[in-house]
């Protein structure tokens, strides 16, 4: 069984406003998805987050988004494929400059929020993101959602000459196709540690989850996304880390 990597969204503070508890979460993850200034973060926050990841030997990835600071990148914007390609490239370049200043590099790309969800349902938008990755560095993997049928995304990635990392979520509910249930619906986010741990275990071992309609759903994932916004979620991250270490 391949080792399941833990990833977390990091560096999402902005100026004096603090979001998340990066210092508490960083020791327990393998991958840090660093906001690039469009939905959150600023140059100082980005560089501090890179430094924190480097201290803990955590790989740094770019977390580009729609230009939506007010909406935290969770609102879909009417951007053309060319605009999406350029905005992703712009954000990759910004993070890469700060990584280079710290003697490290961008290791992968994981789009954020609405851009992440939109590209999973719109092939033109997904292709635009893939074009940006290929233009920046085709050797970097693009992280995207593990769904019931990954074949279309794999075929598109092959056409653009890039690799993929498939991502699953321990604290989110899924529909029958393997897409995340909207946060606006009841039960979309799991809060009980026991439920989160059981979903993490099933994803790590390749066992089926129960989709929203009760049907079995098997997700083949390379990485598991965790969140550390409060003490309860940090406790869950620690428990997931311990679980994955025991399964390794």
How confident is the prediction along the chain (248 residues), in pLDDT tens digits per residue? 468 999 999 999 999 999 999 999 999 999 999 999 999 999 999 999 999 999 999 999 999 999 999 999 999 999 999 999 999 999 999 999 999 999 999 999 999 999 999 999 999 999 999 999 999 999 999 999 999 999 999 999 999 999 999 999 999 999 999 999 988 888 888 888 899 999 999 999 999 999 989 999 999 999 999 987 777 788 899 999 999 999 87
pTM: 0.94
Q: Where are the domains of the chain?
A: 5-247
CA distance 104 to 113: 26
* Residue 20 contacts residue 45 (beta carbons within 8 Å): no
The pLDDT of residue 47: 98
Is the domain 5-247 a CATH 3.50.50.60 member? no
CA dist 195 and 225 (Å) reads: 15
Terminal-to-terminal C-alpha distance of the chain:
8
CB 226 within 8 A of CB 6: yes
Distance from C-alpha of 140 to C-alpha of 174, rounded to nearest angstrom? 27
> Which stretch of DSSP H or E encloses residue 117?
helix 113-121
Strand runs labelled E in 23-83: 31-35, 59-63
Q: How far is CA 101 from the centre of its chain?
A: 24
CA distances to 66, 73, 84, 119 from 77, rounded to whole Å, are 7, 9, 10, 12
Cα 59 from chain centroid?
13
User: Residue 74: helix, strand or coil by DSSP?
Assistant: coil
| CA–CA distance, 15 with 160 (Å, rounded to integer) | 37
Note the pLDDT of residue 172.
Answer: 92
Q: Is 187 helix (H, G, I), strand (E, B) or coil?
A: coil
């Amino acid at each position: 069984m391949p080792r399941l990597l833990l990833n977390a969204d990091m560096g999402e503070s902005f100026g004096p406003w603090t979001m998340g508890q990066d210092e508490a979460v960083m020791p327990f993850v393998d991958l840090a998805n660093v906001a690039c200034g469009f939905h959150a973060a600023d140059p100082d926050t980005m560089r501090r987050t890179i430094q924190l990841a480097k201290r803990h030997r955590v790989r740094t990835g770019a977390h580009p988004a729609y230009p939506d600071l007010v909406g935290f990148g969770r609102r879909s914007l009417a951007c053309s494929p060319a605009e999406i390609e350029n905005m992703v490239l712009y954000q990759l370049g910004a993070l890469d400059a700060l990584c280079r200043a710290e003697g490290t590099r961008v290791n992968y790309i994981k789009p954020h929020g609405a851009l992440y969800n939109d590209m999973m349902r719109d092939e033109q938008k997904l292709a635009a993101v893939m074009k940006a990755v290929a233009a920046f560095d085709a050797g970097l993997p693009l992280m995207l959602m593990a769904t019931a049928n990954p074949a279309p995304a794999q075929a598109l990635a092959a056409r653009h000459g890039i690799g993929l990392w498939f991502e699953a979520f321990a604290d989110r509910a899924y529909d029958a196709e393997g897409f995340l249930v909207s946060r606006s619906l009841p039960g979309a986010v799991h809060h009980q540690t026991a439920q989160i741990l059981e979903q993490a275990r099933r994803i790590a071992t390749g066992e089926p989850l129960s989709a929203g309609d009760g049907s079995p759903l098997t997700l083949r994932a390379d990485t598991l996304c965790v969140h550390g916004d409060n003490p309860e979620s940090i406790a869950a991250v620690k428990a997931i880390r311990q679980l994955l270490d025991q399964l390794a």
